[in-house]
Structure 1
């Protein structure tokens, strides 16, 4: 049996199966996508081919790059099932019918190699039923791998093994899913709904029931059971609209038919006439004519909400939800709020947490698995047991008992203790035996949050910190809101460089946050503009240039490790690193033109240098400048790390980590690999195209303007950018431009734009709305 997975087969090209195939391709692994032969038409592969074509047009995109689609081979199960013999893992994602699945497995058993893993993406059918009648050899290779939709963006993968499943086969799938597909694997028991959907469905049903029973409006229900609980702002009703109202009866039927008698879910499952009526009339949520919320196109796309009592739509209102501490994550304050807010919050949260607690160890081995499943599968900020710690296990147990409800055994075990604690710098969890155990990370997983449990920063200020992450490597962390960059960050970089040079080997720029950096602190810049502190602003721009070039020419390797958004100045710091190890989900670009500015911290020169050295780039000063102008003037942002590579933000030798939890470890290893015989790069010199190049770029912008694709002020900002990229008034085609001279062109252009009221209006609008102003 091979320990590696070199090719995957996905059978079933529906939304989920196609999405799984796309994620395998995103990992750079060939994948065979099969489906049935259509009843009509000459193309026997039409179903699978159509799925790929649809994904290439879908937003958010299942493919991280259009080039990934080339790794998907399409076919059908009648003509191409024998190709399964080429594959190391077969994923079945067909309709949730046992007879169809079992019929497929019988055919697979005849063609697959021994040791090739076969898994079902089911979330409703027990594993024991799936493999009934199959050979012992097939059972050894079989498991359940339950992906969440959309597979590219949802990190959770629940894995269920049977008593006959070979441990080596399961380990091979788990390793591939973790490292190559970027999944956090949670091991679930072979129980109905596994972990996330069992708790999630229970929570949704409680939320629906309580709103109908208590006369709570849809808006208020979502305002209570959303952000205040650490749940996405969709809340309960918004989430049902998102996943599809018509899915709810199917989930309920599945759980009620498979859960044992006496199970708590049977006590809350109910038929809701309004939901049946909505489904019958096509109001199935966002994919239909609307759901609990809808946009009334006949009334100018007015947002409307259904009245749960009358079943009629009315204009959506802003609910007066929880206030104060109850609105900010204090769960005890929330459930103890007066009136309907506290009553609804307790009705939903209290019973959900009690239900989650009752599932250990029957559905999950420990509290960590439950918490990971809900955080990753439903995007909860805290898992159920982390929420119980906020409420207090004894508080929850006492209140349940006072209401005559069963108290789960694990709450009794906890008593007045917490389910998680920090001991000797280690995060520990409480087991059913009453003992605490360390939370163990898989090999190669490293989190800065874990480092912080057992250490203090080497240096820190209000906006950044420097941490020792072991083996002579330090981590530069941004800590401001949205990890915005300001003078304090630049000051700390200046302090870090001589310190690292004297005592350490390498530096990694990284943080645990969802946003690497949203760029320069625009609020601070706007404040300085309003008081005409031009000298301070120029000092900040020059200080950023000095700090970034200090990193670039430091006597030790610097590796950028971004995840999520890396915009403006957040992109520019990456451009000054020796190497980048990026998370696959990287949204990166120089976006300054969108707020009426131009990149001012060295980004223009670094991008020209990248593009002029790109493979296949024509010689001469104009091709690279034209590429950079196209990207920067339109504020282009990558939609993945692979796209960032295509934009030359990532270069040859830069790496991509599929699993977010492995990014810091991977970046540290890359930094260490650069230490031996390290020498800083040489400063580049530029040949810029001068006035002729500036004219050519101006003609292109004018064309966009005439077609209505660029505003009047876009033309002005683009013209200033063109000046910088082509050499301004000071340099022409025959001149050699130093890096320092390039920086001055940037700095002067940045300051000029910031003195323009139209740029100030763009900055203000972005800060107020989060959207660009098209003036």
Structure 2
């Protein structure tokens, strides 16, 4: 039997079902999206059609590019359920009611092909209950695949097979979700809430209760639960606003009904009159009139927060923790002030709860940590936090408080849950022994490489690593991986080392963001002391370094993920190939801070568009495309959109699973080694004065609409001069060196202007562009 998954059916076009369908389509796989026929309507596919239309307007977008929506076929469960039989995987994502789910399964049991996977996206109903009374043949093909919302952006997928589920079917679905959809798979046991929601909802419960008990405001509680623990700044109350306050009573009811009376979640459950009142008045969070936080528009868009004791909204105030406690969970937990007491009341309980749930929810400590990192965006899972705090110290404090110490926490004793041995990570198991943390085949992490050996080259801003098979990796290690002089110097040295000892080079980092571009803070400092020569040296070093990269005698592959802005985009444009993570947000954004690309980005983008399929011939079409993109500082919101912007070419690759990106980039580099030759130097025919005038007039149109300022016009004029070739005529040949000279001249002129310096300063202070 052919086991490939080539077509998927999703039943249930609510937020989750539609989002799952969108992610399947993002991966290039056709998907059938079904929902019920709404009563009293002639449009039988109304719910599914509306879901697709809604997602095309949603921000952040469920679709990585609008064309992905064309892969979603809509229908309804009355007329089109039989079409699910032609699909290789059927995902049920209907409302969380057992009777409705089982009624659907009975219909599916009659029509689905044996060996076709059927899964539920449930997060509250046990698998055993879902399968009650259904045929054994159906049970063999059934499992739970619990996606997290939003499905495009959340990497966690909890997979729960039943005792009768075919292991080969589980492996097939897991492999598809891993390689094609980009999910990190965590195997869970069939227990309430599985892993992430079991621990995460307990954390939310404790966070709310302890804040009320200890008299903390919502800002104070969120400050404690945020940065010190590596948890998103939404903390507890901000997260409740995000997911919806009205969801919490349903989760609480489900968990208390499913868990034993002795479970800490059940014992800590209490009815919250304030929460009940807020939901009744429509304060359900961001989707309603507000929640624990709200924007008071009647008072002039003032952010307010609700008093947990008074129930009255007041202007929100930032909470500042003591300096040490605000940075480090150990200092915070050791503090005896109200913040320290709150931190221990919440996280002491959470860490003890998590330790006590192994092996009930999972036999794998590393899997529990992964679920919390990927499902709740914690930087560290509970067992990693315990290692930071010291498992023995936490156990001793629990004992001093007269509370039971979980057996697993007692068993690890003075040791740690993770340790390094011979350059590899080992994790403490429920059997009392340490076991190697296995990476799936095709996963290569730079962190593992760094753990196992020393860098080939290193300074305070970058490093060069041997990642095996004759390939080296250049890693930027500054804040936001920005480029400074030290990065460019090490890049120059690295090219020499790679040429002598390696076959190819990959530009990559394990960090969340590939690169935010040039270090604007250093540039602003140099401008403020009129060190214009230093600015010119940096521009020249970037141009020389990136061109040396482009013409190196070996293939170079850029492997971005997250932000790749400004110089971060330009270095990618100089690589022989790009292997991008699907969630790469890339663009030449220099015009947003009053500059133009200065490290060769203009010429590389012109060359890309001039060579694009179906691009009209002549000097103007490619230049106009580049002007439109660069002058507006457009940033692609996915790798798919980066391809439509011309940053990625058709031959470049997109990897959906972040953990597989470095491996895929290395493989792409190795595939280019045989017969490799550096690219020829391009020669451009640019539109000259007439093209410059056309671009300037286009910018004037934006100004006439009030969409561009006077300085926007100055920046657009400088960009138009570069892209048109300066004083060249359309018949003249403009070399790459000529374009670099034009870029350098425009960049150095703009950075001396007051409005550009104001833009840089404002962006550094606020993270937002300034229109001046």
Q: Quickly name the TM-score band, shorter chain normalised.
A: over 0.9
| Counterpart check, 1:652 vs 2:650 | yes
How do 1:476-515 residues align onto structure 2 when only pairs under 5 Å count?
Answer: 476-515=474-513
Aligned-pair distance for 1:332? Answer: 2.6
Tell me the residue number matched to 2:228: 228
Assess if the C-alpha contact under 8 Å between 2:228 and 2:325 holds in 1: yes
Aligned-pair distance for 1:158? Answer: 0.3
Q: Distance in 2 between matches of 1:536 and 1:38?
A: 67
Alignment partner of 1:447 out of 441, 445, 448: 445
Q: CA RMSD in A?
A: 0.9
How do 1:110-125 residues align onto structure 2 when only pairs under 5 Å count?
Answer: 110-125=110-125
Tell me the residue number matched to 1:520: 518
Q: Distance in 2 between matches of 1:344 and 1:533?
A: 49
Assess if the C-alpha contact under 8 Å between 2:516 and 2:563 holds in 1: yes
Aligned-pair distance for 1:212? Answer: 1.3
Assess if the C-alpha contact under 8 Å between 1:242 and 1:286 holds in 2: yes
Q: Distance in 2 between matches of 1:703 and 1:672?
A: 48
Q: Distance in 2 between matches of 1:4 and 1:559?
A: 30
Alignment partner of 2:409 out of 400, 408, 411: 411
Aligned-pair distance for 1:319? Answer: 2.0
Assess if the C-alpha contact under 8 Å between 2:261 and 2:267 holds in 1: no
Tell me the residue number matched to 2:266: 266
Tell me the residue number matched to 1:204: 204
Aligned-pair distance for 1:663? Answer: 0.3
Alignment partner of 1:563 out of 561, 564, 574: 561
Tell me the residue number matched to 1:673: 671
Out of 68-77 and 761-770, give the one that drifted further: 761-770
Q: Distance in 1 between matches of 2:528 and 2:414?
A: 54
Tell me the residue number matched to 2:429: 431
Q: Distance in 2 between matches of 1:734 and 1:193?
A: 69
Q: Distance in 2 between matches of 1:162 and 1:448?
A: 35
Q: Distance in 1 between matches of 2:525 and 2:310?
A: 51
How do 1:300-379 residues align onto structure 2 when only pairs under 5 Å count?
Answer: 300-321=300-321, 323-329=322-328, 331-379=329-377
Assess if the C-alpha contact under 8 Å between 1:26 and 1:65 holds in 2: yes
Q: Distance in 1 between matches of 2:298 and 2:713?
A: 37
Alignment partner of 2:736 out of 734, 739, 749: 739
Tell me the residue number matched to 1:190: 190
User: Aligned with 1:299: secondary structure?
Assistant: coil
Assess if the C-alpha contact under 8 Å between 2:556 and 2:575 holds in 1: yes
User: Aligned with 2:578: secondary structure?
Assistant: strand
Tell me the residue number matched to 2:584: 586
| Counterpart check, 1:762 vs 2:759 | yes
Assess if the C-alpha contact under 8 Å between 1:371 and 1:384 holds in 2: yes
Tell me the residue number matched to 2:18: 18
Aligned-pair distance for 1:325? Answer: 2.5
Scaled by the length of structure 1, what TM-score is found?
A: 0.99
Q: Distance in 2 between matches of 1:453 and 1:383?
A: 20
User: Aligned with 2:298: secondary structure?
Assistant: helix
Out of 749-758 and 638-647, give the one that drifted further: 749-758
Scaled by the length of structure 2, what TM-score is found?
A: 0.99
| Counterpart check, 1:299 vs 2:299 | yes
| Counterpart check, 1:625 vs 2:628 | no
Out of 569-578 and 255-264, give the one that drifted further: 255-264
Aligned-pair distance for 1:338? Answer: 2.3
Tell me the residue number matched to 2:178: 178
Tell me the residue number matched to 2:718: 720
Tell me the residue number matched to 1:280: 280
Out of 407-416 and 521-530, give the one that drifted further: 521-530
Q: Distance in 2 between matches of 1:760 and 1:197?
A: 47
| Counterpart check, 1:59 vs 2:84 | no
Q: How big is each residue's C-alpha offset from its partner over 1:26-77, in whole Å with a ceiling of 9 and x where there is no partner?
A: 0000000000011122110010000000000000000000000000000001
Aligned-pair distance for 1:532? Answer: 1.8
Q: How big is each residue's C-alpha offset from its partner over 1:288-325, in whole Å with a ceiling of 9 and x where there is no partner?
A: 1111111111111111111111211111122232x232
User: Aligned with 1:158: secondary structure?
Assistant: strand
Tell me the residue number matched to 1:96: 96
Aligned-pair distance for 1:542? Answer: 1.1
Tell me the residue number matched to 1:246: 246
Assess if the C-alpha contact under 8 Å between 2:682 and 2:735 holds in 1: yes
Tell me the residue number matched to 2:393: 395
Unaligned runs of 5+ in 2: none
Aligned-pair distance for 1:220? Answer: 1.1
The runs of at least 4 aligned residues of structure 1 exceeding 4 Å deviation read none
Q: Distance in 2 between matches of 1:11 and 1:159?
A: 18
Q: How big is each residue's C-alpha offset from its partner over 1:245-267, in whole Å with a ceiling of 9 and x where there is no partner?
A: 11111111000101123112111
Q: How big is each residue's C-alpha offset from its partner over 1:601-629, in whole Å with a ceiling of 9 and x where there is no partner?
A: 00000000000111110000000000000
Assess if the C-alpha contact under 8 Å between 2:354 and 2:382 holds in 1: yes
User: Aligned with 2:759: secondary structure?
Assistant: helix
| Counterpart check, 1:458 vs 2:443 | no
Tell me the residue number matched to 2:159: 159
Q: Distance in 2 between matches of 1:487 and 1:229?
A: 33
Aligned-pair distance for 1:367? Answer: 0.8
Tell me the residue number matched to 2:73: 73
Q: Distance in 2 between matches of 1:129 and 1:220?
A: 41
Q: Distance in 1 between matches of 2:261 and 2:204?
A: 21
User: Aligned with 1:598: secondary structure?
Assistant: coil
User: Aligned with 1:580: secondary structure?
Assistant: strand
Q: How big is each residue's C-alpha offset from its partner over 1:182-209, in whole Å with a ceiling of 9 and x where there is no partner?
A: 1001011000000000101111111111
Q: Distance in 2 between matches of 1:99 and 1:659?
A: 35
Assess if the C-alpha contact under 8 Å between 1:413 and 1:433 holds in 2: no
Aligned-pair distance for 1:99? Answer: 0.5
User: Aligned with 1:228: secondary structure?
Assistant: helix
Tell me the residue number matched to 1:549: 547
Q: How big is each residue's C-alpha offset from its partner over 1:722-763, in whole Å with a ceiling of 9 and x where there is no partner?
A: 00000112x111110111111111111111111111111111
Q: Distance in 1 between matches of 2:196 and 2:66?
A: 32
| Counterpart check, 1:750 vs 2:732 | no
Tell me the residue number matched to 1:39: 39
Q: How big is each residue's C-alpha offset from its partner over 1:206-242, in whole Å with a ceiling of 9 and x where there is no partner?
A: 1111111122111111111111121111111111111
Tell me the residue number matched to 2:215: 215
Aligned-pair distance for 1:535? Answer: 1.9
Q: Distance in 2 between matches of 1:391 and 1:11?
A: 45
Q: Distance in 1 between matches of 2:584 and 2:753?
A: 32
Aligned-pair distance for 1:715? Answer: 0.5
Q: Distance in 2 between matches of 1:59 and 1:210?
A: 34
